Amino acid sequence: MSTIIDAETTAKAQTHPRGKVIAYWVTTSLLAFFLGSGGIGELSHQWGTLGTVEILGYPVYFLTILGIWKVLGTIAILVPGLPRLKEWAYAGIFFGMTGAAASHAIVGDYGAYAFHIFSPLSFAILALASWTLRPKSRRL
């Protein structure tokens, strides 16, 4: 009788709460969508991206570099396995988004209601949430 109880307890201890798994996939999906679409927009020099680099004083080729890293980071957080690469991708996303917010703040490009500051900071928070909620199979 105790063997059955022990096996049941062990099985329950190893499973993830359903809410946490759902929260992980919601945050990760949102992050991947916004990051990936932003990266594709930067690679294709979509409307708004050229104006942004001019306002910030960055060269136009910087868009290509950012776009490549954003698309690669999106792929890294979505594919199974490769936990070390995921750690680097999450760190890069966090540093990139906080750096974007700081760049906009420093040059005074706040946008309407400080959109250009709060938007990248919200993506950084989304990356932190996704990183925190990730299952053990996606950790180091």
Listed range (74-78, 80-84, 85-89, 93-97) with the worst mean pLDDT: 80-84
d(C-alpha 92, C-alpha 17), whole Å: 28
d(C-alpha 66, C-alpha 55), whole Å: 16
**Three-state SS at 136:** helix
Contact assessment for residue 70 and residue 36, using Cβ atoms and an 8 Å cutoff: yes
Q: pLDDT of 18-77, one tens digit each?
A: 899 999 999 999 999 999 999 999 999 998 899 899 999 999 999 999 999 999 999 999
pLDDT in the model for residue 4: 56
> If you average pLDDT over every residue of the chain, what do you get?
90
pLDDT in the model for residue 126: 98
Is the pLDDT at 1 greater than 90? The verdict is no
What is the value of pTM for the model shown? Answer: 0.84
d(C-alpha 78, C-alpha 133), whole Å: 14
